[in-house]
Chains A and B, each alone.
Chain A
């Protein structure tokens, strides 16, 4: 699913326990519908309705978690980053004025937190952790190749091909120019191709 709710076929999430209303974006939801639903939930959350916070979490948790997982390469760290993202978002929700989509704002927080975590890992000289073994061989190779890339290359690739964002959405999220997104994506794709094909050839 992109920020406009294009993917996740057949997946639905329920509000809280026993609620009948579906909150997760369905395949047929349009970007406007998703944005309107988020806007309404954010307004309710800003008025202090805790249920709205829960619904926002349920709507976006999987996307944010997947983004964090693909950026940091570690499931436990991704879970921690997911929670940290929502904690930061909830505490700053009063300052959210709707200048961008809530999902864009939320993903930007997640990307920034992942960058901070990556910098901390670099200072500790931690080897890049890859969540291997739980997925197919292709996905493991893709994640391993991603972790060998430069951080900003990794970000644009994940936002483009896993989050299915358009060039303009990536530019809005990262606060880059559109031309910078195009150039970075081009270089990132070539770098990924070299690393991934090399990994693929070395597989037994």
Chain B
């Protein structure tokens, strides 16, 4: 048996873990080889030292400490785990996809005002109402955080007493481009913003609501939320419409006012 093979098995030889035939072969080699015998002696010394590690007795009062620790509730450990990590990764991917699907508009030449086929306000009203309003309401479109666009005034001819401020805006001629969309360069178009409509606070619609529906060239439609600010008498003072990503080619198709009373 070679020295290399013997030294690989010295540990098991000293531990008595070898079969008798191997044990006898290694024993015979150790008697003849001084180098391997020296190695075996050194390992035996180390083993003897390790075996001096006796059992150490524990102080009896530790049992009281243990009872005390057992009496306290186990701390809740936050563990993300694989499921949590998968959820976080999924959310991150979804956020990236959402961001990529709504890119910031790239700089494009501003649409000419002659291009009225887009950015027109089309009013679809089920029933035409008679004009009664005497004063012309003002409709001011503003966008935040951008500057308020030019003030526009719409004619209220042909509106009834029950016409709200938004209905006054509906009287905008069909061919007139919507200023808050058409007059702004695409690069300036906000992805989020607010249109503030101001006008004559009459007639009173105690509980009116309206919405704007915007149609995009690809057929998608978006309904714009609004909120009506009222005075103490319950009359609408302003209508605040929020919209999202109104592109220049977007088209406001419908404005409706409902009397919920």
B77 an interface residue at 8 Å Cβ cutoff?
no
- Interchain nearest-CB distance for B48 vs A (Å): 9
> Roughly how many angstroms separate A182 CA and B22 CA in the complex, as a whole number?
16
Note all chain B residues with C-beta closer than 8 A to A31.
Answer: none
> Please, how many angstroms separate the alpha-carbon atoms of A66 and B10 in the complex?
27
- Answer yes or no: A74 CB below 8 A from chain B CBs: no
Q: How far is the CA of A142 from the CA of B43 in the complex (A)?
A: 14
Which residue of chain B has its CB nearest to the CB of A79? B62
User: Is the Cβ of B62 less than 8 Å from the Cβ of A142?
Assistant: no
B35 to chain A, nearest CB (A): 15
Whether B153 is near chain A, meaning CB under 8 Å from some CB there, is no
Contact of B53 among A65, A86, A162, A193 (CB under 8 A): A162
- A91 CB within 8 Å of chain B: yes
Give the contacts of B61-106 with A (CB-CB under 8 A). Answer: 62-63, 65-66, 69-70, 74
A40 within 8 A of B: no
Q: Which residues of A contact B15 (CB under 8 A)?
A: 160, 167, 185
Q: Using known A-B contacts A138-B49, A161-B51, A167-B17, determine if residue A83 contacts B65 with beta carbons closer than 8 Å.
A: yes
Asked whether B45 lies within 8 Å of A189 as measured between CB atoms, the reply is no
Interface bin, chain B: 20 to 34
| Chain B, range 1-59, C-beta contacts under 8 Å to A | 8, 10-12, 15, 17, 42-43, 45-47, 49-59
- What are the residues of chain A within 8 A of B69 when measuring CB–CB? 83, 87
Q: Which of B8, B46, B58 contacts A193 (CB 8 A)?
A: B46
> A7 CB to closest chain B CB, in angstroms?
7
Please state if B56 and A65 are interface contacts (CB–CB under 8 Å).
Answer: yes
> A189 and B65: CB pair below 8 A?
no
Measured between beta carbons, the chain B residues less than 8 angstroms from A157 are 50
A79 to B11, CA, bound (A): 32
The answer to whether B55 and A139 touch across the interface, beta carbons within 8 angstroms, is no
Q: Does A90 contact B (CB under 8 A)?
A: yes
Interface residues of A in 1-30 (CB under 8 A from B): 1, 7-8
Minimum CB–CB distance from A8 to chain B (whole Å) comes to 6
CB closest chain-B residue, reference A164: B51
CA distance A196 to B32 in the complex (A): 27
User: A135-169 vs B: 1/0 string, CB under 8 Å?
Assistant: 01011011100000000000001101110000100
Q: How far does the Cβ of B18 sit from chain A's closest Cβ, in whole Å? A: 11
Whether A62 pairs with B46 at a CB distance below 8 angstroms is: no
Given contacts A192-B46, A196-B46, A197-B46, contact A139 B52 (CB under 8 A): yes
Chain A residues with Cβ under 8 A from B10's Cβ? 186
Q: What residues of B have a CB within 8 angstroms of the CB of A83 in the complex?
A: 62, 65-66, 69
- Nearest to B68 among chain A residues (CB) is A83
In whole angstroms, what is the CA distance A138 to B19 when docked? 32
A96 on the B face (CB < 8 A): no
Interface pair B70/A87, CB less than 8 Å apart: yes
Answer whether A1 and B55 are a contact pair too, CB < 8 Å, given A192-B46, A196-B49, A197-B46.
yes
The residue in chain B whose Cβ has the minimal distance to the Cβ of A87 is: B69
Closest to B8 in A: A186
The 7 listed contacts between A and B (C-beta, < 8 Å) are A58-B63, A61-B63, A66-B54, A138-B52, A139-B54, A158-B53, A182-B11
Q: Nearest 5 A-B pairs (CB), nearest first?
A: A161-B50, A193-B46, A162-B53, A186-B11, A65-B58
